[in-house]
Amino acid sequence: MKSANAIRVAAFAAVFFISVTGLSAELADLLDEAADAYEAGEYERAVNLYSEVIEEDDSLFEAWYNRAVSYMELGNYDEAVADFESAEEIDDGVDELYFQRGTAELRSGRYEAAVADFDRFLELSPDDVQALNNRGVARLRSGDISAAVDDFSEAIERDEGFIQAWYNRGNARYELEDFEGAEDDYSHVLSLDGGHIDARFNRGNTRYALSDFEGAINDFRSVKTADDSFIEAYYNLGLAYIRFAEQMQEE
């Protein structure tokens, strides 16, 4: 089964701007240059520039936060978490900090810490369905599967068109061996996005588990047609053909 879960990626380095009041012209220019580097996708340069700012003045929340999201873009999640912690010591009331730190923790495998940060974020911003989805992903990966289903279900109740939550709930229900529920969720994903290959592949696996080998064959064939490099689809298609033939003989 394809089990990758969709989560929001950091993209907020330019969200926090610093008033130039009280800052030297040199420091203000460094901050502007760092923000421009981030916006241009020059994340290593942004990190270096924010580092220069921090060396000059380590009391600026925005410099720590923005360096953290720059680190996230580079995949340096440990460094990002450390910077978010420094930013939190300066200002612990910024909701997006907890979302982004939770995302960094999720990507680095710190699932319990990620859940705690998404809890905090949802206390400050209770209507964010993406945070519910991400907390569900963290719970799913930590083995708290029933709680993950609850998060995905709540996200779906708030936004019925939220494909990520439907797909992730399908994955969680599959892990719980609720194959009928998983099939329903993957089918709903496909009703919203017929080209969602992972959902179609996972539905094929779910149908196989339900002994609907003909349905599984149709799904695996569709995946193979859409992506002829999808090796798992070829393998699972072969298994489904064998089981379907055995099923026909038994009948």
Please provide the average confidence, as pLDDT, over all residues in the chain. 90
Provide the 10 A C-beta neighbour count for residue 245.
11
Residue where one domain finishes, among candidates 125, 156, 186: 125
* Domain-located, residue 49: yes
Domain residues for the domain of 103 are: 1-125
pLDDT score recorded for residue 2:
58
Whether 208 and 118 map to the same domain: the answer is no
* Model confidence at 13: pLDDT above 50: no
Whether 96 and 184 map to the same domain: the answer is no
Provide the 10 A C-beta neighbour count for residue 48.
14
Whether 2 and 117 map to the same domain: the answer is yes
* Domain-located, residue 245: yes
Whether 5 and 106 map to the same domain: the answer is yes
CATH code at position 113: 1.25.40.10
Whether 4 and 119 map to the same domain: the answer is yes
Whether 90 and 192 map to the same domain: the answer is no
Whether 6 and 84 map to the same domain: the answer is yes
Residues ≥6 apart with Cβ < 8 Å to 222: 200
Q: pLDDT tens digit string along 126-175?
A: 999 999 999 999 999 999 999 999 999 999 999 999 999 999 999 999 99
For residue 80 the two structure tokens come to 């990002």
Distance from the Cα of residue 112 to its chain's centroid: 15
* Domain-located, residue 41: yes
Whether 31 and 103 map to the same domain: the answer is yes
Q: pLDDT tens digit string along 54-79?
A: 999 999 998 999 999 999 999 999 99
- Positive or negative: CA dihedral 37, 22, 100, 111: positive
Whether 93 and 210 map to the same domain: the answer is no
19-28, 112-121, 187-196, 219-228 — which is least confidently predicted? 19-28
Q: With contact defined as beta carbons under 8 Å apart, do 206 and 185 qualify?
A: no
Whether 203 and 112 map to the same domain: the answer is no
Q: With contact defined as beta carbons under 8 Å apart, do 248 and 216 qualify?
A: no
* Domain-located, residue 168: no
* Model confidence at 88: pLDDT above 50: yes
Q: With contact defined as beta carbons under 8 Å apart, do 121 and 106 qualify?
A: no
For residue 130 the two structure tokens come to 């993406």
* CA distance to 29, 70, 88, 138, 244, per residue, from 84 (Å): 23, 11, 6, 19, 53
* Domain-located, residue 172: no
Whether 43 and 115 map to the same domain: the answer is yes
Q: Number of folded domains in the chain? A: 2
* Domain-located, residue 63: yes
pLDDT score recorded for residue 123:
95
In angstroms, rounded to a whole number, what is the distance separating the alpha carbons of residues 128 and 135? 11
In angstroms, rounded to a whole number, what is the distance separating the alpha carbons of residues 75 and 82? 14
Residue where one domain finishes, among candidates 110, 125, 140: 125
Whether 186 and 118 map to the same domain: the answer is no
* Domain-located, residue 170: no
* Domain-located, residue 138: no
Lookup result for tokens 């979302």? 99
